[in-house]
Each structure stands twice: as C-alpha cells, then as structure tokens.
C-alpha cells in the first residue's frame, strides 16, 4: 500500500488505516523499519532514539509523518505498568525544565503526567530539528501518530510542535493512555479544534488509564474518541472493568493489593490492546 492520506478529510478511515500501519511499523528496528516504511508506505524516514523513547520522522513528496513507538514489548505492557498504576498518583504535575514553559502555556491549572513528559523530553530536540528540516525542504502537512505509550507521546508532541510554530495537520492515536488533567485536555482541544482522533477499542483498558488514581488526581482525555457504534456490555467493557475495581477502593484510595489484582485483569486483556486488534477495529468502522 502507499501512504494514502486525505488532507481535506478529518478523521477519515483512510487516514486512520495508513497511520495505524505507521504506528505498527514504528516498533521495528532502524534497519527493518526503514525498509518496511519504504516498501509498505512509500515513506523515507529516520529513527530517533534517546534512552527508552523512539520516534520516526518520515516523509514523501506529499506528507510528513512523525510516528512514536510504544513500549518495547507492546503485548506485555509491563514497560508502562508503573506509569499507568503505581506512580500515577504522584505524577500529575506542572512540568519543569526545558519543556516546562511550553507545557505551562496550557494554562495555570493544566497538569501533565510526568512519566510521559520525561519520555518526550528525552527525544524532543532531534524530532523537532528533523521535522523542521523536512518542512523547510518542502512545506507539507504534518501528521502525528502512535500506539499505546506512543499515542500519549503523539498528543504531547502535537502541543509542543504548535508551541514551536510547526503546524500539525492531524493527530491519530491508537490505544493511548491519558496525558493530563481536565485543564490540559481543554487546552489541547482548543488548540487542535477537532484534529485529534483517538481510536479506542472498548475492551482495551489502557485508554482508561491512569484514571485509577482518583484520590488526589483526575486524568482526562482530549477529544475525539473513535470507537465502533455498537455498544459493548458494561460488564465486559474496559470502563466496566475499571469501575468494578474502583468500587473496592476505600475513600478513593487503591491499596497495593487492589492495584496488583487490577493489573492482572489488565494483562488478561492484552489482546485488546494489540495493534492488530485496532486494525481489525478500523476495518469494522469502515464497513470492511
């Protein structure tokens, strides 16, 4: 297939399909990925890797795509366990350091997940430099995407691109966790004005996280959620799973044992978080 992106369509299934493939290929090594992006999507690109964070900056004559990699083992989920559960209670903060000014521009009440902010901070300079160079060579629409942790980084990157005068055309994420509180989500919605499309498998618990730390913090998604129209029974839905465990918390506080039991339930649904499950969902949404 080629990178079939429809510039004038918002939330178009063809855009989602192409960017889901880009998000999947982002998990490949540098050599394998460069070949796969060229052969499958007709994109030339470079992998940027700093610490545990990786992103591809890709381009052809018509488009620029930044695809963030998720966890190293996307079907295991262990790489983001602490970020989603154990540490979530203490990590909704106003970031400091080199990205603090850009993120503080979201408003006085905006708070972001420190783990995700640290991850994007590690790789931001080379990604921004590479993207700007591509735009200067030829001005083309910029698309940002990612699966799982990569979806969260895609949303943060979108904001940071705008703060650095790089226009983002659209953002597509697949199974991404939440990145901040309600004020942060409102700021993202205001700036992107309906150009962020969050694809969510209703059986996948990861997009519901890290909202379990309701005692002192509240994480919120930005719009717009894209899911199949047919309802999933509450008792089997991801929201139902979170709700059933939340009801066991004492005054909103999750004990260590409760968090452990919840994580085991999350892992039992790992197939719903897999990129293949999201691509199957896209076919369902398109009537395929």
Q: Is 216 helix (H, G, I), strand (E, B) or coil?
A: coil
Q: How far apart are CA 24 and CA 68, in angstroms?
A: 10
Cβ–Cβ under 8 Å, residues 277 and 285: no
Residue 111 pLDDT: 86
- Backbone phi, then psi, for 240, in 5-degree steps? -65, -40
Q: Domains plus CATH for the chain?
A: 13-282 (3.40.50.1820)
pLDDT at 214: 45
Q: How far apart are CA 178 and CA 161, in angstroms?
A: 19
pLDDT at res. 231: 64
* pLDDT computed for residue 215 by the predictor: 46
Q: Which residues of the chain have pLDDT under 50?
A: 90, 214-216
């Amino acid at each position: 297939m080629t990178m079939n992106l429809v510039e004038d369509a918002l939330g178009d299934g063809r855009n989602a399909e192409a960017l889901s493939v880009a998000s999947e290929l982002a998990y490949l090594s540098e050599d394998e990925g460069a070949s796969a992006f060229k052969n499958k999507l007709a994109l030339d690109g470079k992998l940027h890797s700093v610490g545990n964070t990786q992103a591809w900056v890709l381009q052809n004559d018509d488009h620029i795509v930044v695809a963030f990699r998720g966890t190293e083992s996307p079907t295991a989920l262990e790489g983001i366990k602490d970020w989603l559960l154990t540490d979530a209670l203490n990590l909704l903060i106003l970031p400091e350091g080199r990205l603090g000014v850009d993120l503080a521009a979201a408003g006085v009440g905006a708070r972001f997940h420190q783990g995700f902010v640290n991850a994007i901070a590690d790789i931001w300079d080379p990604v921004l430099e590479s993207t700007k160079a591509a735009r200067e060579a030829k001005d083309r629409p910029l698309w940002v995407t990612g699966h799982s942790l990569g979806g969260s980084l895609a949303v943060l990157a979108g904001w940071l691109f705008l703060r650095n005068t790089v226009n983002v055309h659209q953002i597509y994420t697949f199974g991404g966790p939440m990145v901040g509180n309600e004020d942060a989500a409102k700021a993202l919605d205001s700036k992107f004005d309906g150009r962020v499309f969050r694809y969510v498998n209703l059986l996948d618990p990861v997009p519901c996280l890290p909202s379990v730390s309701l005692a002192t913090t509240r994480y919120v998604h930005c719009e717009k959620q894209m899911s199949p129209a047919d309802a999933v029974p509450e008792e089997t839905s991801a929201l139902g799973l979170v709700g059933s465990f939340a009801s066991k918390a004492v005054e909103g506080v999750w004990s260590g044992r409760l968090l452990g039991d919840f994580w085991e339930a999350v892992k039992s649904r790992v197939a719903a978080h897999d990129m293949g499950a999201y691509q199957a969902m896209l076919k369902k949404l398109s009537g395929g």
